[in-house]
Amino acid sequence: MYVAVKGGERAIENAHAWLAEERRGDTSVMELSVPQIREQLALAVNRVMAEGSLYDPDLAALAIKQSRGDLIEAIFLIRAYRTTLPRFGASQPIDTANMTCDRRVSATFKDVPGGQILGPTFDYTHRLLDFKLAADGEVAQAPQREAAQAKVPHVTGFLNREGLIEEAPHDDTTPRDLTREPLEMPADRALRLQALARADEGFTLSMAYSTQRGYARNHAFVGELRIGDVVVEMDIPELGFAIDIGEITVTECETVNQFKGSKTEPPQFTRGYGLVFGQTERKAISMALVDRALRWEELGEDYVGAPAQDAEFVLYHSDNIQATGFLEHIKLPHYVDFQSELELVRKLRRDAGATPKQEANE
Amino acid sequence: MKDTIDDINPRKEWLGTLAKSPEGRVGALLDQVMARPDFTWLRMPEIGSVMVRGRAGATGSPFNLGEVTVTRCSLRLADGTVGHGYVQGRRKACAEAAALVDALMQTENAADIRVAVLNVLEAERTEARTTRAAKAAATKVDFFTMVRGED
């Protein structure tokens, strides 16, 4: 018999009150402000914006504070908020060739036009804890040098000129949008890139790493990695022309991959692409490697059964909000489900146990 | 080319400058120039999102990258001039100030607003960008070749 039960309201209220108190922590320690998180935990903010799929540093910082630093919980909050917003429209595709680069490195060409610009990177640090940060201290001003105003060209453009690398031909097909329709297979590249751009960083990193270790190996060079600001332009119907509606920081990674050629294509380099909100280079590189692995079919490569080649596996398991939602729901009450399982196991045991007992009686 | 025509559209330029302005800056500069004129709302400030698109391989087919928050509004001055405000983020007061500036730029106040609001915003933006570009330039690698021992 099914018996509906109610209860727990007071326990839930009290749990939430205690959560608020624990979130605040020791009140003799100064409270963290949202602007402090936005400015000083910027890479956490960037990850929440990228995987929350909503560019708004203040909201992401608020979500990190509310979630006590649990970034997946923060991403959940951002995704939930995002669904409440009316959509004004879609931007014109951002032009990353016009990025003002904070960082721009190429692992394939030393003397690349525009130069190797390291930017504010952890690379080449010694990964030793810096105890000076534990004490209050002024930070020295970063050195400056006069900058050339020229726009920084994409590295793949140089290989394109020689015909050594596949082209990414311009087209203006309206992309499918997985926030508007369910993600269904087969997923074209535009849909895969959208899913990867908001995919969990850890999952994407592991998938990318698996390709490096030999599961669908597609030896990747970072042709170019760039981080910087791009303007976002949108057509405004009431004006009849497009205007900049903002400026965002993005990380872009283009990989250059070996390709032996196929029935239709001569040997040349192929490309993987990563583009992510914020300064998020581990994610952008991972995205480019996974994008390249998922392109096996259009490039006429063999399917070797590697996880990173399996679009359905990758795309249906890359979203940490879907994953955590399904995973964590199993801790919520399943009393009735379990009751029926219990009945079933008892019945099976009775059925199984009846025969030996009869045998023993004989 | 369409871009060339857009590039010489001054309204497109100033609307872009207003959209990218820092929090509170448009309103503060506007209030230094003049008392705000009366207006009626055509569209109250509303917060929404715009889906940002990228291109596969930077130049190929478009894909949806993720959304950005945007606030917009439209208003009409007493003389009938219509102003539109679009700003990045959740900033209703900034959208209102931007729409007022857009409207005033179409009136006899245009010259004053140009000098005291738009030129200031552009100068501040240029300075911030120049400083950042200079810091990036200081991290540019100067390669040099080591002398080889066997020569």
Mark which residues 102-161 of A lie under 8 Å from B by CB: 102-103, 110-111, 115-120, 142-149, 154, 156
ipTM of the complex: 0.91
- What's the whole-number average pLDDT of chain A? 90
Is the Cβ pair B64, A97 closer than 8 Å?
no
Judged against a pLDDT cut of 90, whether residue A63 lies above it is answered with yes
* pLDDT at site A280: 95
* pLDDT at site A92: 95
When mean pLDDT is compared over A105-109, A329-333, B65-69, B139-143, the highest value belongs to B65-69
Mutate to test the interface with B, among A59, A82, A91 (most CBs of B within 10 A): A91
Judged against a pLDDT cut of 80, whether residue A54 lies above it is answered with yes
Higher model confidence: residue A186 or residue A3? A186
Nearest to A277 by CA among A91, A25, A16, A20: A91
C-alpha B124, offset from chain centre = 12
Which two tokens mark A15?
């749990």
C-alpha A38, offset from chain centre = 19
The confidence band for B151, taking pLDDT boundaries of 50, 70 and 90, is low
* pLDDT at site A2: 56
- A104 phi, psi to nearest 5 deg: -160, 110
**Which one of A55, A117, A175 has the shortest CB-CB distance to B63?**
A175
Is the Cβ pair A147, B134 closer than 8 Å?
yes
The confidence band for B3, taking pLDDT boundaries of 50, 70 and 90, is very low
- Which secondary-structure segment (H or E) carries A270? strand A270-277
Nearest to A119 by CA among B130, B133, B125, B143: B133
Higher model confidence: residue B37 or residue A3? B37
Question: In Å, what is the CA distance from B98 to each residue of A246, B33, B62, B82, B94?
Answer: 13, 14, 30, 12, 6
Judged against a pLDDT cut of 80, whether residue A259 lies above it is answered with no
Question: In Å, what is the CA distance from B75 to each residue of A3, A89, A216, B48, B108?
Answer: 58, 20, 57, 18, 18
The confidence band for A224, taking pLDDT boundaries of 50, 70 and 90, is very high
A296-318: average pLDDT: 92
A283-295: average pLDDT: 96
Which two tokens mark B27?
């309103």
- What's the whole-number average pLDDT of chain B? 91
Interface A-B, measured as beta-carbon pairs within 8 A, has a size of 229
The confidence band for A91, taking pLDDT boundaries of 50, 70 and 90, is very high
Contact criterion met (CB below 8 Å) for A214 and A308: no
* Least confidently predicted of A54-58, A127-131, A263-267, B124-128: A263-267
Judged against a pLDDT cut of 60, whether residue B127 lies above it is answered with yes
Of all residues in chain A, what percent are helix, strand and coil, respectively (each to 5)? 45, 15, 40
Higher model confidence: residue A298 or residue A205? A205
* pLDDT at site A3: 60
* pLDDT at site A362: 42
When mean pLDDT is compared over A9-13, A261-265, B29-33, the highest value belongs to B29-33
Tokens 């949008």, residue located: A177
pLDDT > 90: what percent of chain A? Answer: 60
B103 vs A contacts (CB less than 8 Å): none
Nearest to A166 by CA among A271, A96, A262: A271
* pLDDT at site A90: 96
A233-258: average pLDDT: 94
The confidence band for B32, taking pLDDT boundaries of 50, 70 and 90, is very high
B87 vs A contacts (CB less than 8 Å): 245-246
B57 vs A contacts (CB less than 8 Å): 156, 168, 254, 271, 273
The confidence band for A354, taking pLDDT boundaries of 50, 70 and 90, is low
A253-266: average pLDDT: 79
- A280 phi, psi to nearest 5 deg: -145, 60
Question: What does the angle CA A159 – CA A163 – CA A166 come to, to the nearest 5 degrees?
Answer: 80
- d(CA A100, CA A230) in angstroms, rounded, equals 7
DSSP A148-172: P-S----THHHHHHHT-B-------
Is the Cβ pair A190, B62 closer than 8 Å?
yes
| Shortest CA gap A64–chain B (Å) | 18
* pLDDT at site B7: 55
Higher model confidence: residue A358 or residue B93? B93
Cis omega before residue A186 (within 30°)? yes
In the 8-state DSSP scheme, what is residue A134? G
The confidence band for A355, taking pLDDT boundaries of 50, 70 and 90, is low
**Which one of A142, A171, A241 has the shortest CB-CB distance to B135?**
A142
Question: What does the angle CA A250 – CA A324 – CA A215 come to, to the nearest 5 degrees?
Answer: 65
Higher model confidence: residue A76 or residue A303? A76
Query: Chain A residue closest to B14 (CA)?
Result: A243
SS3 A54: strand
Contact criterion met (CB below 8 Å) for B48 and A85: yes
- Burial track A238-272 (b if 16+ CB lie within 10 A, e otherwise): eeeebbbbbbbbbbbbbbbbebeeeeeeeebbbbb
Nearest to B125 by CA among B7, B21, B24: B21
Which two tokens mark B87?
């700003």
- Burial track B43-70 (b if 16+ CB lie within 10 A, e otherwise): eebebbbbbbbbbbbbbbbbbbbbbbbb
Higher model confidence: residue B6 or residue A182? A182
Judged against a pLDDT cut of 90, whether residue A131 lies above it is answered with no
Query: Chain B residue closest to A97 (CA)?
Result: B58
Which two tokens mark A125?
């640090």
The confidence band for A341, taking pLDDT boundaries of 50, 70 and 90, is confident
- d(CA A200, CA A207) in angstroms, rounded, equals 11
The pLDDT tens digits for A164-194 are 888 878 888 899 999 999 888 999 999 999 9
The pLDDT tens digits for A95-120 are 999 999 999 999 888 888 888 999 99
A115-143: average pLDDT: 87
* pLDDT at site B63: 96
* pLDDT at site A5: 66
- Which secondary-structure segment (H or E) carries A26? none
Judged against a pLDDT cut of 50, whether residue B80 lies above it is answered with yes
* pLDDT at site B17: 96
C-alpha A174, offset from chain centre = 22
* pLDDT at site A353: 79
